[in-house]
A = this chain, B = another copy of it.
Amino acid sequence: MDAQLDNVKFDANGLIPAIVQDHATGEVLMMAWMNRDSLAKTVETRKTHFFSRSRNKLWLKGESSGHVQNVKSIATDCDQDVLLIKVEQIGAACHDGYYSCFYRQHQANQGDWKIVGKKIFDPESVYQKK
C-alpha cells in the first residue's frame, strides 16, 4: 500500500482531475479524471490510467491508439485535490489527432476559436471502425 494515495482528496464521485503535461517541453496535453484505482494503477505501471465518466470504467490511455503516456513524475496541489502528471507522450495525446487536446485558442474580437494545434495523425486511420 502507498500511504501517499491516502492524502489525495477525491470528489463526491470518487474522482480527481489529472492534468497531463509533456515532461520535456512543458506543453499541457490533456486533463482527464482518475479514481483511486486508476491512480494506483498509474503509480504501479508508470503508464497513465483514467476513469471514464461516460463509459464508467477504467482505461489505459493509448489502449486503442497505442499512444500511451510514460509517467515521469506525479505532483499534487496545495489542497491535494488536483494531480499534475508529467509524461513522455508516445504519438499524440488527443483523439482528434492533435499532439495536445488544447488545440483551440480564444481570439479577441472574433467569432470563433482558432485552431492552433498541430495535427499528428488521422483519427480515421488510427481508430478504425470495427
A interface vs B, CB < 8 Å?
Answer: 3-4, 7, 17, 19, 21, 25-28, 30-31, 43, 73-80, 82, 84, 94-96, 98, 101-108, 110-113, 116
Contact = CB atoms under 8 A, between A and B. Distances in A.
Contacts of A111: 3-4
A113 B8 CA distance: 10
A29 B4 CA distance: 21
A96 B80 CA distance: 12
Among A21, A95, A106, chain B packs the most CB atoms within 10 A around the CB of A106
A74 B4 contact: no
A73 B106 contact: yes
B31 A28 contact: no
B3 A112 contact: yes
Nearest to A42: B106
B17 A21 contact: no
Nearest to A81: B31
Nearest to A85: B106
Contacts of A94: 77-78
